[in-house]
Amino acid sequence: MNDNNARRVVSVIVVNEASVLSRITDLFSGRGYNITSLTVAPIPESKYSRLTIVTSGSVRVIEQITKQLHKLIPVLRVYEHADLVEKEMAMVKFPANENIADISTLCEVYNGKIVNVGENVIIVMVADEPKRVDNFLKIIKRYNPKEIVRSGAVALER
Amino acid sequence: MQINGAQMVIEALIAEGVDTVFGYPGGAIMNVYDEIYKQKDFKHILTRHEQAAVHAAEGYSKASGKVGVAMITSGPGFTNAVTGLADAYMDSIPLVVISGQVPMSLIGTDAFQEIDAVGISRSCTKHNYLVTCAADLPRVLKEAFHIAATGRPGPVHVDIPKDVTAEIAEFDYSVVLELETYKPHIKGNPRQIKKVMEAIANAKRPLFYLGGGIINANAAYEVRDLVQKTGIPAVETFMARGVLSYDDALLIGMLGMHGSYASNMAMSETDLVIGLGVRFDDRVTGKLTEFAKNASVIHVDIDPASISKLVNADYPIVGDVKNVVNEMLELTAGVESKKYKAWRETVQNFAKLHPLAYHEDTERLKPQWVVQRVGELLGDSANISTDVGQHQMWTGQFYPFTRPRQFISSGGLGTMGFGFPAAMGVKAATPEKISINFTGDGSILMNVQELMTAVGNKLPVINIILNNNYLGMVRQWQTLFYDKRHSQTDLSVQPDFVKLAEAFGGIGYRVKTKEEFDAALKDALEKNIVAFIEVVVHRMENVMPMVPAGGSLFNMMLLEKKGDK
């Protein structure tokens, strides 16, 4: 069953033009595919943007997703990654009265640090593999996080 | 040259060789209609509903092979046209549909007749554009025609705000298109084609599975050659009717839910499916796990996403079916027609066992007879459109089609109300042919206002209304699968179709016998005006054979033998 719903990362290079993101998300919702996360940003010095979509499905579904994406007119390329480096960022807000030293040490383990210290809250960031970010977020529960934001994954093929 | 956006639309249509535009004016598109008034290069046909404008453009496109063009205004004009866009999208019909939009300054303000048109059309077009400045128009319109007609064809929607149609900019239609992200794969992989021909040569019971893509690709005559040369029997989908002539000895018939027994059995027994321009639609395959389960599958299609979408292709070939079939024709040396003799006989025996048939009735005309009779009388000289329902299936089953682009019907979306406006488009494209629309008493009322368009523009479509006082196909399902609870399908209350046609300036007939029908058809052809021939047919006739939805192709409900009741 796991194979039928395996997590997949798909990167899509699209022309950076109006409504291109809706074309992609409409395709997913219209055909009943999942989006776990989606990130998008322009590719420097080009007219293209790169989307990284984390999705899940059977081999056939993933094949359909890549083909259907490719069928969209503004889509230049679709990569369905096999061997990739994947990173995700998360930011967490803690009450300032929590143990800052402990939190700071934890963040370092997950490629992060404290990025803002205010009167009432501190904000930290980590950047790591999505699974490790999951782990980090589990561990820091004991420090009463007030707010959590995740960026969604970005990936590059090795 | 420096011209305004509205003039650009006209110039682009002329440059694309458009001779007929179907449309309906309104506030946001008025600048363009003002330019239409001033020009003489193409004809504008005013329909009486935007949906009909798009269906007419579809009919025009299907009959002519050219890109159909429809023009509508913003808001309700556009939303009325959406069904047409969706219909064209499902059946891969190349259209350019141009809509007006509120001025740029009003977009997003819930202005009068404003709707997010590109947001709505996104999922039912091949591509769409909101044009934000006149300088973009030449490129956008050129791209629109190019994208509509190439690759897997489809509708392209261009939404133009009113101020953009007034804005002046440089118009140069010789712009070279740079579509880095759109390059349809036309040529099939030669090595794969070779492998396919080997697989055919090695097969014992191969079967051509011919689809509508062959007609889109203008490849019917190449396919006829290939079928002849190989001696392999063929089944057609509903959308492929006319690829082979009805009297081709190798044509088994139409397959699918209402396909012939022989076609469906052939598909169940074959060891090699040769799919050309098909998409394994659920109305064709029935239960997927049982579909052609003894067979390897060759699938040739221009759309990579169609391949292995539903049925795994052992031999996928992405390419234009005309190209690929031409290459296949070069490699038929190893294929021996006589090797399939036993297989052909098997198929012929299927056909003898349960031929496509119906039982005559002494009291009322049978709808199948009407279709057959028109086939006998008009045959090749008519182009045939249909609406959606039982009459549509009977037409697919019983009309003797002789050529591609003869049959125009809404296959994928199944749009009631398609037939009449589509038949007007067919007549506009091919005035030398008779234009017949087989329709039902339900469907015809869904675009009946087009009587006015047809009369006004002298498009003498003959609508043959097979009247059973039911929404027949739904009634059939209710009879068979809902224990005869005929919920909301009884159409006993009806207009006087004769008077209705006459009220618009057409001619109407109501016939109950074979003699009356022949006389009415003859008279309508002689008078050469828009006609309704209402044929009172048997109320409870079912379309048979039938594969119940989700059932296996080989498990058909068959026509009861006479006396079975």
Residues β-bridged to residue B156: B96, B127
Q: Is A1 on the interface with B (CB under 8 A)?
A: no
Assess if residue B525 is contained within a domain. yes
Are B349 and B372 within one domain? Answer: no
Quote the CA–CA distance of B457 and B449 in Å, as a whole number: 13
Are A125 and A72 within one domain? Answer: no
Domain span including residue B84: 2-170
Mutate to test the interface with A, among B122, B127, B129, B147 (most CBs of A within 10 A): B122
* Encoded tokens for A119: 């009167």
Q: Is A60 on the interface with B (CB under 8 A)?
A: yes
Residue B257 has phi, psi (to 5 degrees) of -50, -45
Res B228 pLDDT > 60: yes
Residue tagged 């009450």 (tokens): A95
Residue at which a domain ends, from B327, B353, B379: B353
| A45 backbone φψ class: left, alpha, beta (φ>0; ψ -120 to 50) | left
* Encoded tokens for B4: 């305004």
Domain span including residue A142: 85-157
Assess if residue B565 is contained within a domain. no
Residues β-bridged to residue B534: B465, B510
Assess if residue B275 is contained within a domain. yes
Residue at which a domain ends, from A82, A111, A139: A82
Quote the CA–CA distance of A45 and A23 in Å, as a whole number: 23
Q: Of B16, B35, B50, B450, which is the active-site residue?
A: B50
* Encoded tokens for B409: 């019907």
> How does residue B468 score in pLDDT terms, banded at 50, 70 and 90?
very high
Q: What is the pLDDT of residues B38-95, one digit of tens each?
A: 999 999 999 999 999 999 999 999 999 999 999 999 999 999 999 999 999 999 999 9
For residue B112, how far is the Cα from the chain centroid?
35
Task: Please enumerate in sequence order all residues whose Cβ is within 8 A of that of B191, keeping only pairs 6 or more positions apart, or say none.
Answer: none
> How does residue B563 score in pLDDT terms, banded at 50, 70 and 90?
low
CB contact under 8 A, A75 and B181: yes
Residue at which a domain ends, from B301, B319, B353: B353
Are B202 and B82 within one domain? Answer: no
- The CATH number given to whatever domain includes residue A98 is 3.30.70.1150
- What order of strands is seen across the sheet that includes strand A121-128? A113-117, A121-128, A84-95, A147-157
Quote the CA–CA distance of B114 and B564 in Å, as a whole number: 60
Q: Is A17 on the interface with B (CB under 8 A)?
A: no
Are A115 and A57 within one domain? Answer: no
Determine the average pLDDT of the residues in B97-108: 98
Q: Is B118 on the interface with A (CB under 8 A)?
A: yes
* Encoded tokens for B446: 């869904």
Assess if residue B359 is contained within a domain. no
Q: Is B146 on the interface with A (CB under 8 A)?
A: no
In the prediction, which pLDDT does A81 show? 84
Are A78 and A140 within one domain? Answer: no
In the prediction, which pLDDT does A2 show? 47
Are A65 and A90 within one domain? Answer: no
DSSP β-ladder status, B407-408 and B434-440: unpaired
Assess if residue B76 is contained within a domain. yes
Are B233 and B331 within one domain? Answer: yes
Are B449 and B418 within one domain? Answer: yes
Tell me the nearest-neighbour CA distance from B182 into chain A, angstroms. Answer: 6
Are B160 and B296 within one domain? Answer: no
Are A77 and A148 within one domain? Answer: no
In the prediction, which pLDDT does A148 show? 98
- Cβ(B508)–Cβ(B498) below 8 Å: yes
In the prediction, which pLDDT does A1 show? 39
Quote the CA–CA distance of B530 and B454 in Å, as a whole number: 6
Assess if residue B555 is contained within a domain. no
Crossing angle of helices B50-64/B419-429, nearest 10°?
Answer: 50
The residue in chain A having the minimum alpha-carbon distance to the alpha carbon of residue B303 is A71
In the prediction, which pLDDT does B223 show? 98
- The CATH number given to whatever domain includes residue B236 is 3.40.50.1220
Name every chain B residue with its beta carbon within 8 A of the beta carbon of A15.
Answer: 181
Q: pLDDT digit of tens for each residue in chain A (158 aa)?
A: 346 788 999 999 999 999 999 999 999 999 999 999 999 999 999 999 999 999 999 999 999 999 999 999 999 999 998 889 999 999 999 999 999 999 999 999 999 999 999 999 999 999 999 999 999 999 999 999 999 999 999 999 98
Are A111 and A63 within one domain? Answer: no
What's chain B's Rg over C-alpha atoms?
Answer: 24
Are A38 and A100 within one domain? Answer: no
Are B59 and B148 within one domain? Answer: yes
Are A49 and A33 within one domain? Answer: yes
Res B260 pLDDT > 70: yes
Are A131 and A153 within one domain? Answer: yes
- The CATH number given to whatever domain includes residue B481 is 3.40.50.970
Size of interface A-B (CB pairs under 8 A): 37
Are B195 and B132 within one domain? Answer: no
- Cβ(B465)–Cβ(B511) below 8 Å: no
Residue A141 has phi, psi (to 5 degrees) of -55, -35
- The CATH number given to whatever domain includes residue A36 is 3.30.70.260
Are B417 and B497 within one domain? Answer: yes
Active site annotation includes B50: yes
DSSP states along B270-285: -SEEEEES----HHHH
- Overall number of domains in chain A: 2
Residue at which a domain ends, from A55, A82, A109: A82
Are B49 and B84 within one domain? Answer: yes
Are A68 and A30 within one domain? Answer: yes
| B17 backbone φψ class: left, alpha, beta (φ>0; ψ -120 to 50) | left
In the prediction, which pLDDT does A3 show? 60
Q: What is the pLDDT of residues B388-442, one digit of tens each?
A: 999 999 999 999 999 999 999 999 999 999 999 999 999 999 999 999 999 999 9
Q: What is the pLDDT of residues B305-345, one digit of tens each?
A: 999 999 999 999 999 999 999 999 999 999 999 999 999 99
- Overall number of domains in chain B: 3
Res B565 pLDDT > 80: no
Are B209 and B313 within one domain? Answer: yes
Residue at which a domain ends, from B298, B322, B353: B353
Tell me the nearest-neighbour CA distance from A73 into chain B, angstroms. Answer: 6
- Cβ(B387)–Cβ(B444) below 8 Å: yes
Assess if residue B233 is contained within a domain. yes
Assess if residue B552 is contained within a domain. no
- By C-alpha distance, which of B391, B360, B380 is closest to B475? B391
Residue at which a domain ends, from A16, A50, A82: A82
Are A109 and A91 within one domain? Answer: yes
Are B372 and B348 within one domain? Answer: no
Are B312 and B421 within one domain? Answer: no
Q: Is A113 on the interface with B (CB under 8 A)?
A: no
Are A65 and A107 within one domain? Answer: no
Task: Please enumerate in sequence order all residues whose Cβ is within 8 A of that of B541, keeping only pairs 6 or more positions apart, or say none.
Answer: B358, B366, B367, B368, B390, B468, B472
Tell me the nearest-neighbour CA distance from A87 into chain B, angstroms. Answer: 28
